[in-house]
Structure 1
Amino acid sequence: MDAKVRNCYDRLNHFRRPVRTAFAFSLSMSTPPPMTPRILFLDDNVRDIGGHYLELASLLADGARQLGYQPRLVTHASLPQRNPQLVGDSRLEHLEIEPRFEVRRMENWSLGVDGPSMVQRDSRGIPIGGSLFRRIRQSVDDLLCRPSRRPRAMLEAWSSVFIDSIRRFGPLPHDRIVINTGGDFQILALAHAIQTLEREGKLAPMTIHVLFHFAVFESTVTERAIAFGRQVNAAVEAIKGHRIHLHATTESLCQQLATVGVNATAIPYPTRNEHLASTSSSSTAGTKILLAGMPRAEKGRDLIRDLLESIETPYLRAGRFTWSMQLPEKRWQRMIPPSLQPACISLASGQADPDTSAGMEILRGNLTSEAYHGWLDTAGIGLFLYDADRYVARCSGVLLEMMIRGVPVMVPDGCWLADQVRAAEPTGAIGWIYQSVDQIPQLLSTVDETLAEVTANCRQHAKHIAAYHSGENTLLKMGIVDHASSSVRLAG
C-alpha cells in the first residue's frame, strides 16, 4: 500500500476511536490494527448480564473476531450500573461496550404479535395507515402513554443514540453495522436517524444488517400483519443510498415476513458451545427437570403452579424427578404451591438450594454467565412451557442451549420448538412433544423407559447444533465477508 494512503488510514483510525465518557467504556485495553475492519452491534435491550440479549451480542462479537473484525457493542445506558460484576464477565473480555440507549423494548410498538400498534406509521411515528377512525384512535392511545414511552418519543430517543454512535464510529467501507434486535418499529427509528444524518451533510454509504426475532402473526395473516410489511418496506425504501439487509432467526419467521411482502434471509440463532457433559441422571435425587430462564408470561409462568401440584406427590416427593428453576427475588409465591414454598427460601443470587425431600432445586435472581451455563450442564430434561402461539415462528435460545448439551427436551406442539424436535427425528428422537400441559405428567411416567436412548441421540445431534448455530456461521449466513482469510485480504 502507498505510504500516503497508509498514513491517511492511520489518521482516520485515530479520530474514529470513541471518546471515553460516563457512557462509554472498554473491557479491553487492546487497540485493533489500523486496517482491521469493524462491526458495530447495537441493542437497546442489553441492560443485564442475565437473559439472551447480552448472550446474543457476545456470541455475535465472538463470531466477528473469528472473521477478522473488531467488534463494538452499544447497549442500554443502565448496563454497568445494574451489573457491578460486568467487568469480570468473561464473555466481554475483548468487547468494547458503549452504554448509551435510554429507551428499550422498541417491539412494544410493533405491528407484530408483541406490540399493540393498530396502524402503519411514518418515520416520525405518526399514524398514516388504516381508516381515519383507526388513526385517531391510535393517536389517542399514544397520548395516553407516559411521555417517555410514546412512539414519537421512543423513535427520537433511539434515533439520537444511533446518530451519535455512527458519528463516533465513523464507518469505513469494510465496516459493518448490525442491529441485534430489530423489527418494524426499529426500522422506522433507523430510517429517521439516517434521514437526519443525511440532512446534516453527505453520508457515505453504509452496510446495515437488521435481525428479526419476533413473530409477525400467529395462525392467520391479519390486517396488522399486512401493515407490518408495508411499514418495514416503506422505511427501507426511505433509506436510500445504503445497503440494508434484513434477516430472520428462524425459517418460519422468514416465511411470515415473505407472506407480508418483506424480503429477509433466514439465519441460525447462535448458541454457546462451552459446556460440560450433562451430569444429571436417574439417581436417588431423580432426573433433573430444568426450566431455564426467569419465568415470563410467554414462557408459561402461569402454568407452573398447576403442573407442580400435579407432579409433586407421584414424581417429586417420590424421588423420581427433581424440579429445578429460577425464581425472582420478589413476587414468586403465585407460581409455587403452598406445600412447596418452604423449598423456595430466600437465597443469594446464583446459589442453589436442593431440597431432596420436596424434589425442588431453586436458584434466586439473575445469574452470571458462568453460573447459568454451569446450571444448564446439570439438566436431565429441559422442560419448556412456552406459549405456542407466541413461539410459532420465534426462536428459543434456551432450546438451543439444551440441544447443544445433548439434553432431551419436552416442548409444546405447534411452534418453532416442536419443529426442531421433529427435524431431528430421522436420526433418532431427541425429546417429547405435548399437545397440552395436562399431558406432561403422563409423558413423565414413561420417561425412564427411553431416557438413555433419547439422551444418546441428543448427544449425536449436538454436533450439528454446535457447527450450525455458532456466531461465526450466523454472520457468514448474513453475508458478512470472512476477513480473517488471507485470500480475502489480498482481494481487498
Structure 2
Amino acid sequence: MSISYPKSPRILFLDDNVRDIGGHYLELASLLGDGAHQLGYLPQLVAHQTLPKRNPDLSRDSRLDHLPIEPRFAVRRMENWSLGVDGSSRVGRDLQGAPTDGGWAARLWQNVCDRASRPSRRPRAMLHAWSSVFAESVRQFAPRPPDRIVVNTGGDFQIVALAHALRELDRQDRIGPTSIHVLFHFAVYETAVTARARAFGRQVNAAMGTMKRHRVHLHATTESLRQQLATVGVNATAIPYPTRPRNGLQRSRSSADATKILLAGMPRAEKGRGQICGLLESIEKPCLRSGRFIWSMQLPQKRWQRMIPPSMQPSCDVKTPAPTGRLAGTGLEVLCGNLTSQAYHDWLDTAGIGLFLYDPGRYVARCSGVLLEMMIRGVPVIVPDGCWLADQVRQAERTGPIGWIYQSVDDIPQILNGAEANLPEIHANCQRHAAHIAAYHSGKNSLLEMGIENHASSSLRRAS
C-alpha cells in the first residue's frame, strides 16, 4: 500500500540568530523562504524568542508573507564557542559540550574558560538549550520523507548540538531518517591551518559519525570556505549566498552630481569600525567638503563619537532612530540606528560606490551579503585584498573592472582621487555583472545547489 503525502512538502528553517529585522540573518531566512516557495515547498522558520518582542511591526514585514515564524530559541551566536576564527574554544567537545580533545592541560584550561562565562553562556548550557529547541521543533514539525530541515547558520559547535538533539530524538521519539542541511558561513582559519583548525575538523567529523542514520548535508556559502573545510577533513558543497533582487538597476547620475560613498550596515570591529575616523580625516577636505563625494553611513545612537572626526561632530545629530540626511557643508550623510528592510534597501539604491573596510582575515573565506547587495545593483566597490570580497571583484574583471582592490586603508584616498575619471566605464561593467548576480545568488538557486528538489516543476510533470 502506497503512502500519500500532502501535495506541498515543507521546509523547516532554523536560526537562533534571527532576533531583529535588521542585519542579514532574517534577510537570509526570508530569501531562502522565498526560494522554497518558488520550488513548491511550504516554508517555516524557527527564530529567537525575542524577535517579536524587539520588533512590534514584524507582522507587517513583507519579506515574511510566505514565511510563518515560531520564536523559540533562547540562545544565539553559537559560533562564539566555535574552533573557527570567530570562536573562543581551544579544544574539541563531546555531545555534552565537555572538552575531550587535546592534552589534559588544554582541557583543564578550557574548563576554566568555560566556567568564567556567565552560566547561561557556558558551552554546555548553550548546547543543551539549542539542542532542546531543535528537538522540540522537529517533534512539532513531524517530518515526512518529502520534507527538509535547514539550519541556516551552522558551524562546528552547532553540529555537536545537532548530534546531541538527534540522539535524543532517536532515543525518545524514534523518528525516521531525516534530511537535514547545514549552512557554514564563518572561516575555519585565516592564512594557515592551525591546531585549532584541525580540532575543528575532528569535532565536526566525530559528531557527524553519530548521525549516520540521518542524511546530514554540509554546505559552505563560499568556495574558499569549502576548500578550508576540505583541508581539515570536512566534506561540504559550495553554494551561492542569496541576495535580494532589485526591480531595476541603478539610474545613471549626472557627472555634476557628487558620488555617494556608502558604508552599509552598522559598523562593527570586523567591518572596520576602528578605521573610519582616520579615513574620514584624510578625505574630509579634498573629497567631502569639496563637494566631490558624499560619505553615507549608519551610526549607533550611543558611542558614535569615536567614528567621526571632531571637526565633523558638531553637525551630527544621532538622537533619533530616523535618518538625519545629509549634513550641510560636511559631505557627510548619517542614518541613525537600525533600519527597516525597505529603508535599508532604498538607501542602498542611492550608492555611487560601495566601500568595505572589512578585516580581510575575518573575511578570508566568509561571504559578505552587503557586497552582493551592491553588485546586484550595479554599484562599483572598493574592497580589501586577501579575502573573499577581492576574489569576487577579480572574477568579475574577466568582462571588465567593477571596482578597486586596496592593500591598505591608506590607499583609499588615492583610489578616490582617481575614481571619477573611470567611474562611467566601471559603472557600465557593474550593470552587466548585476544580471549574473541576480541569477546565481538567489534563494531558489541556493536551495537547488544544496540538492533540494524543485517540487514545483516535478508536480507540473506529474500533472501533465
Offset, 1:278: 2.6
Q: 1:439 aligns with which of 397, 408, 411?
A: 411
User: Contact between 2:246 and 2:376, CA under 8 Å: does it hold in 1?
Assistant: no
SS state at 2:86 partner: coil
Q: 1:406 aligns with which of 378, 388, 411?
A: 378
Counterpart of 2:89?
117
Offset, 1:76: 0.3
Counterpart of 1:15?
none
Q: Which amino acid aligns with 1:403?
A: M
User: Contact between 1:392 and 1:415, CA under 8 Å: does it hold in 2?
Assistant: yes
Matched, 1:290 2:262: yes
Counterpart of 1:361?
333
Counterpart of 1:420?
392
Offset, 1:355: 1.6
Matched, 1:391 2:363: yes
User: Contact between 1:249 and 1:267, CA under 8 Å: does it hold in 2?
Assistant: yes
With the length of structure 1 as denominator, give the TM-score of the two structures.
Answer: 0.92
Offset, 1:280: 7.2
Cα distance between partner residues in 2 of 1:272 and 1:397: 10
User: Contact between 1:429 and 1:457, CA under 8 Å: does it hold in 2?
Assistant: yes
User: Contact between 2:298 and 2:335, CA under 8 Å: does it hold in 1?
Assistant: yes
Counterpart of 2:171?
199
Counterpart of 1:469?
441
Q: Which amino acid aligns with 1:426?
A: R
Alignment of structure 1 residues 213-252 onto 2, 5 Å: 213-252=185-224
Cα distance between partner residues in 1 of 2:331 and 2:249: 22
Query: Residues 345 and 436 from structure 1, CA distance in 2 versus in 1: closer, same or farther, beyond 3 angstroms?
Result: same
User: Contact between 1:45 and 1:53, CA under 8 Å: does it hold in 2?
Assistant: yes
Q: 2:138 aligns with which of 166, 181, 190?
A: 166
SS state at 1:100 partner: strand
Per-residue deviation, residues 128-151 of structure 1 (Å, max 9, x unmatched): 000100000000110110000000
User: Contact between 2:300 and 2:318, CA under 8 Å: does it hold in 1?
Assistant: no
Q: 1:143 aligns with which of 93, 102, 115?
A: 115
Matched, 1:373 2:373: no
User: Contact between 1:163 and 1:197, CA under 8 Å: does it hold in 2?
Assistant: yes
Offset, 1:490: 3.0
Counterpart of 1:187?
159
Offset, 1:258: 0.2
SS state at 1:161 partner: helix
Matched, 1:81 2:53: yes
Query: Residues 281 and 348 from structure 1, CA distance in 2 versus in 1: closer, same or farther, beyond 3 angstroms?
Result: farther
Structure 1 range deviating more: 176-185 or 340-349:
340-349
Counterpart of 1:211?
183
Cα distance between partner residues in 1 of 2:417 and 2:433: 25
Cα distance between partner residues in 2 of 1:185 and 1:279: 45
Q: 1:39 aligns with which of 1, 5, 11?
A: 11
SS state at 1:484 partner: helix
User: Contact between 2:323 and 2:335, CA under 8 Å: does it hold in 1?
Assistant: yes
Cα distance between partner residues in 1 of 2:68 and 2:252: 37
Cα distance between partner residues in 2 of 1:284 and 1:84: 42
Q: Which amino acid aligns with 1:341?
A: Q
Offset, 1:274: 2.4
User: Contact between 1:284 and 1:319, CA under 8 Å: does it hold in 2?
Assistant: no
Cα distance between partner residues in 1 of 2:413 and 2:188: 33
SS state at 1:178 partner: strand
Cα distance between partner residues in 2 of 1:212 and 1:56: 13
Matched, 1:268 2:240: yes
Q: 1:94 aligns with which of 48, 53, 66?
A: 66
Q: Which amino acid aligns with 2:7?
A: M
Counterpart of 1:337?
309
Offset, 1:85: 1.4
Offset, 1:346: 2.4
Matched, 1:430 2:402: yes
Structure 1 range deviating more: 163-172 or 345-354:
345-354
Per-residue deviation, residues 163-204 of structure 1 (Å, max 9, x unmatched): 110011000000000000000000000000011111113221
With the length of structure 2 as denominator, give the TM-score of the two structures.
Answer: 0.97
User: Contact between 2:301 and 2:320, CA under 8 Å: does it hold in 1?
Assistant: no
Query: Residues 421 and 191 from structure 1, CA distance in 2 versus in 1: closer, same or farther, beyond 3 angstroms?
Result: same
Offset, 1:276: 4.0
Cα distance between partner residues in 1 of 2:24 and 2:55: 15
User: Contact between 2:317 and 2:324, CA under 8 Å: does it hold in 1?
Assistant: no
Structure 1 range deviating more: 261-270 or 85-94:
85-94
Q: Output the aligned Cα RMSD.
A: 1.5
Counterpart of 1:485?
457
Matched, 1:309 2:281: yes
Task: Indicate the percent of aligned positions where both proteins have the same amino acid.
Answer: 70
Counterpart of 2:25?
53
| 5+ residue gaps, structure 1 | 10-33
Offset, 1:350: 4.1
SS state at 1:325 partner: strand
User: Contact between 1:59 and 1:470, CA under 8 Å: does it hold in 2?
Assistant: yes
Cα distance between partner residues in 2 of 1:283 and 1:132: 66
Cα distance between partner residues in 2 of 1:89 and 1:366: 15
Cα distance between partner residues in 1 of 2:50 and 2:248: 32
User: Contact between 1:276 and 1:377, CA under 8 Å: does it hold in 2?
Assistant: no
Cα distance between partner residues in 2 of 1:487 and 1:64: 14
Cα distance between partner residues in 2 of 1:280 and 1:120: 53
Per-residue deviation, residues 9-46 of structure 1 (Å, max 9, x unmatched): 5xxxxxxxxxxxxxxxxxxxxxxxx3310000000000
Counterpart of 1:454?
426
Query: Residues 486 and 133 from structure 1, CA distance in 2 versus in 1: closer, same or farther, beyond 3 angstroms?
Result: closer
| 5+ residue gaps, structure 2 | none
Offset, 1:281: 3.7
Offset, 1:343: 2.9
Per-residue deviation, residues 345-387 of structure 1 (Å, max 9, x unmatched): 0253342421241001110011011000000000000000000
SS state at 1:354 partner: strand
User: Contact between 2:263 and 2:297, CA under 8 Å: does it hold in 1?
Assistant: yes
SS state at 1:399 partner: helix
User: Contact between 1:350 and 1:368, CA under 8 Å: does it hold in 2?
Assistant: no
SS state at 2:83 partner: coil
Per-residue deviation, residues 272-328 of structure 1 (Å, max 9, x unmatched): 002443357466651000000000000000000000000001110000100000011
